[in-house]
Structure 1
Amino acid sequence: MNPSSTAPVFVSSEAARAVFAWPDAIAALQSAYAQPLPHQATPPRSVAAVGKTWLRTLPAVPVSGRCYGAKIMGAAMDVSKPAVEYVIVLFDRHTSRIAGFVDGALVTGFRTAATSAAALDRLAPAGPARLGVLGSGLEASMHVRAIASVRPLTEVVVYSPTPERRDAFAEAVTRDLGIPARGVSSGKEAVEGAPLVLAAARSRAEEPILYADWIAPGATIVSIGSTVPSQREIDVSVIERSDLIVCDMLEEVLEETGDMLAARAAGLSFRDKSHSLVDLMSGALGDRLAQAGTRMFKSVGGGLQDIVVAELILDKALAAGLATPLPIQFDTKYL
């Protein structure tokens, strides 16, 4: 980043895609979460809403790095063509000026998958493994690529309800990554016996799509599809089966996701085995990690992930000449 520049820049999704690299993002996130994070550094997301119009904000001030800022997204769902746009606003810590605006649509997928891979890299045993995937959308696609950058995958087995989509997903994995992949006709068939399991698709009826009796002993599970109270992805039996649960936003995962609320309603106790991503990355889990059989990472996404990955993309886009200078200047109020 050029500290002498006072005009902000814009980084498009096209530019972000051109400069993004999974290993760099994963390493940056592991470093960011390895440091103690004051509670004020990563406050909970906030949502303003009137009727079907909503605005969500995810702010963060990383402990290190040059940038801090927030991701902002909004949608008016009562219009003829509902849509959502995302923008990540980055401030320069050294000058207090706005350094740039990054289109957050693609970055959101990048940071979610990179965070999952960063956690899986510390949770799962080293070495080759088969990956069972539930879901064939963008998030699932990005997650397979992120996970493949931290583990040698022997095979990817995917289930989603539409045969054409899961077959196309498997073909793309083999074409892009050179990993044998195939689509199957049930979720159980996709994950049964797999050491690595990815749940990246909720059912339309908000019914669980993953059950404990499908999961191999000692498997590592990544679950990203239940982020608010109304959403379901994994059955309560998966939570009961997990010996260790790592959460990116601990309180939000435990108190505000449909899966964990359902587990609490079923009388399950999981607080004592649930830990933060900082605990995992800093090594604070110690023997608890070593002794855990089935391990799960559960994610709702957080502003810290957005800022860390967006700063990385901004720096690379500037170096590559792919950031668009904006013909604007903000007034600066000195304190």
Structure 2
Amino acid sequence: MPTKPVFCSAEEVARLLGWDEAIASQRRAFTALAHGTVDLPPKIMHPSRFDDSVMFCYASRLSADTGAVAKVGSVNPGNAQWELPSVSAVVIALDPTTGQLAAVLDGTAVTTLRTAAASAVAVDTLALPDADELGLLGSGTQALAHAHAIARVRPLRAVRVWSPTEEHRSRTAERIAAELGLKAEAVATPREAAEGLPLVATCTLSKEPVLLGQWLAPGATVISVGSFEPDRREVDARTLRRAAAVVVDDPATAAAHAGPVVEAIRRGDLAAADLIPLGEALTGRRTARTGDQDIVVHLSVGLGAQDAAAAWAVIAAAERAAARR
């Protein structure tokens, strides 16, 4: 464990935690969750009375040799107008033996990396092996990160990008093409971004569905990361009704927070017992996809265990870098 606290800016977090290690950290997190070895208190999501922002606080301890990790932050949907990430946060890690401060990390960077990396784990676990086209609904920080992360686990050859603002979707498509060497196209409607594709990721803060189930091709895998409150529903009811399996990061958390799941349980379309934890699908304890024609949906609202796994991966990388100097 570090003798002096580690302090990392967003740039340092991104440099220390590359995509492969970020994905590995999320495999560790969800494997530990499947084994029931994680300290995971309930998360706090509190809509502000003053505006449309949401305050949040996550806490977790992943293992005996890694200390407690807490993340506090704010979701500000209006940040898109200033071309800023919608999520701002700070992550604090404590020494596992003494409880003393071990690290302070830029939580926005940690959140971006761990969220997209967890989606990559979900894609690798749930999607067809030859899935090579991705539809992105959303063009912000998370959409770009999802293209990078998913490209590490599937042989992507083309990406379609939609968001309401033409300039934003065009810019993101251009960046994906330049940074990943893929064919990337900005499209004018969400239907064009999703219809017929084997992979669809919704990375928005929308309170109304941007993805309709009628557009999904047989065999499609859907990743949704923006429905983290009961009133946010990126995907419609038919998307879940068409799904052979609905996979979540944690059933109890999803049943309380994930808008489409909350609505489906209220309508009687789903029961909490129907929800498959990603960790159990990852470790083979439960089966999500049973055939090539199955539509599988993964809805993530985020867990403190993900932040803990990513934070300690950053700390370990920072220690290695310091030892080399």
Q: CA shift at 1:306, angstroms?
A: 0.7
Equivalent residue number for residue 333 of structure 1: none
Counterpart of 1:328 in structure 2 is none
1:22-64: per-residue Cα shift (whole Å, max 9, x none)?
1111112112322345487112212568844975321111136
Q: Which runs of 5+ in 1 are unaligned?
A: 323-335
SS in 2 for 1:101: strand
Cα distance 1:54–1:262, how it changes in 2: closer, same or farther (>3 A)? closer
Cα drift, residue 257 of structure 1: 2.5
Q: Check whether the contact 2:202–2:225 (CA below 8 A) recurs between aligned residues.
A: yes
Higher RCO structure, 1 or 2 (CA under 8 Å, sep 6+): 1
Cα offset, 1:139, TM superposition: 0.8
Displacement of 1:69 in angstroms is 1.6
**Cα pair distance change 1:29/1:65, threshold 3 Å:** farther
Aligned counterpart for 1:188 among listed residues 186, 191, 203: 191
Q: Kindly provide the CA deviation profile for residues 201-241 of structure 1, in whole angstroms up to 9, marking residues without a partner as x.
A: 143xx211111110000111101111111212110000101
Change beyond 3 A, Cα 1:216–1:21: same
- Alignment of 1:152 with 2:152, yes or no, is no
Letter in 2 for 1:268: D
Is 1:21 the counterpart of 2:24 in the alignment? Answer: no
Task: Give CA deviations for 1:124-151 in whole Å, capped at 9, x if unaligned.
Answer: 1213511011110111111111101111
Instruction: Look up the match of 1:271.
Output: 272
Partner of 1:201: 204
Give the C-alpha shift of residue 311 in structure 1: 1.1
The CA deviation string for residues 145-189 of structure 1, in whole angstroms up to 9 with x for no partner, is 110111110100111111121111111001000011101111111
Could you tell me the percent identity over the aligned residues? 33
2:42 alignment partner, one of 41, 44, 53: 44
| TM-score, normalised via structure 1 length | 0.85
Change (3 A) 1:59 1:37: farther
Whether the 8 Å CA contact 1:133–1:199 is kept in 2: the answer is: yes
Superposed counterparts of 1:248-327, under 5 Å: 248-286=249-287, 288-291=288-291, 293-321=294-322
Q: For residues 76 and 149 of structure 2, what CA distance do their matches in structure 1 show?
A: 32
Cα separation, 1, equivalents of 2:216 and 2:188:
17
Does 2:94 match 1:91?
A: yes
Structure 2 runs not aligned, ≥5 long = none
Deviations 1:73-118 (A, max 9, x none): 25999xxx9x975221112224432211111011111111111111
Query: Counterpart of 2:69 in 1: which secondary structure?
Result: strand
TM-score (norm 2): 0.87
Q: Give yes or no for the alignment of 1:69 onto 2:74.
A: no
Q: Which SS does the other structure have where 2:133 is aligned?
A: strand
Tell me the residue number matched to 1:143: 146
Q: Is the 8 A contact 1:202 1:208 kept in 2?
A: no
Distance 2:244 2:48 in 1: 41
